[in-house]
Homo-oligomer: A and B are copies of this chain.
């Protein structure tokens, strides 16, 4: 459970049900938070003082206690005046209007709960889930990367992509040529005050067969839930995804064969999941991100008392969320897989 508004005093997360005696340090968590921090690549000043996580409970030394782990990151003291216009004017394709419709009140400064700062809690919790899985299922690895920015497509092989390769580029992807083009495109959009969408892909390798529930909490359904809950995600694919619509069964079916005593499939259109349950192959997902809604141009909108208005862009502006979203996607994948691993252990005991 995460909590916190963008311009409240802090944001945080509480993780319940974590197994005890798992090795976990503050640095494990801070490392993941550093990956999602804004402005790392384009701004020289490292601003390393920002987004420092504080562990409030649940650890004794560097091991988990089994009790709830509470993590908190203080917000800086933002000048809310920069956001004064937002108090009464709805920003297009933001959640200002829908929050008002739901709650009749909203923390308008900085976007409140709908701000990207909410994802700090996800990344921190994901770091805990990763530490748990490192201990319980050491062969599992999860890598996400930017697979597309606008029309620029990266060429990355899910079977072999590594975090090191992804993080070696300014845009986190494992195709250096595409990464350069992506940087150019993002800079161009920024110059125009415009923004770009794209696709992030994510692979889970080393997942044991048998994870996932057979009906409502299918592994792919819960991954979709987790990923679609990330701000700006508009689409989710597992395995063949929308391409499956164009295929025949003869093309799509993944033939089984034996390899080293293990059941394998010749192709992986299933994306590692059959009937909602992992089959031991790589789990491959794609997520569509919409372009950032904050623009530096003028836009037509209305106010909260129903008057037409013109919104002028000002302040900071992140023209493409995808580079920062990669660790968020990985965090949600670790959380979902860890949850299914513990559920499987609950019902069926420790997998052999």
B-contacting residues of A (Cβ < 8 Å)? 1-5, 8-12, 14, 16-21, 54-58, 60, 63, 65-70, 72, 90, 92-95, 97-99, 101-107, 112-114, 118, 148, 150-151, 189, 194-199, 208-212, 214-218, 220-229, 231, 234-258, 261, 263, 265-266, 269-271, 273-280, 286, 288-295, 297, 299-302, 306-308, 319, 342-350
Q: Is the CB of B3 within 8 A of A70?
A: yes
Selected from B11, B12, B256, the residue in CB contact (under 8 A) with A90 is B256
- Given the contacts A56-B3, A235-B236, A306 and B349 also touching, CB distance less than 8 Å: no
Contacting pair B4 A277 (CB below 8 A): no
Interface centre among A54, A214, A295, A344 (most CB of B within 10 A): A214
Give bound CA distance, A70 to B4, whole Å.
8
Question: Is there an interface contact between A234 and B242, defined as CB atoms closer than 8 Å?
Answer: yes
Beyond A20-B102, A234-B238, 13 extra complex contacts between A and B, CB < 8 Å: A5-B58, A5-B67, A8-B58, A10-B57, A20-B348, A56-B72, A66-B348, A93-B274, A97-B279, A102-B211, A197-B248, A237-B242, A247-B290
Complex Cα distance, B250 from A297, in Å, reads 8
Whether A245 contacts B148 in the complex (CB less than 8 A), given A92-B254, A274-B97, A342-B347, comes out as yes
Are B97 and A57 touching (Cβ within 8 A)? no
- B197–A244 CB distance below 8 A: yes
Q: CA–CA, A118 to B213, complex, Å?
A: 14
Inter-chain CA distance A32–B217, complex, in Å, is 24
Q: Find A99's partner among B14, B93, B214, B223 (CB 8 Å cutoff).
A: B214
- Inter-chain contact B114/A249, CB cutoff 8 Å: no
Cα distance A25–B257 in the bound complex, in angstroms: 36
Flag if B21 contacts A195 (CB, 8 Å).
no
A340 to chain B, nearest CB (A): 10
Contact B221 A225 (CB under 8 A): yes
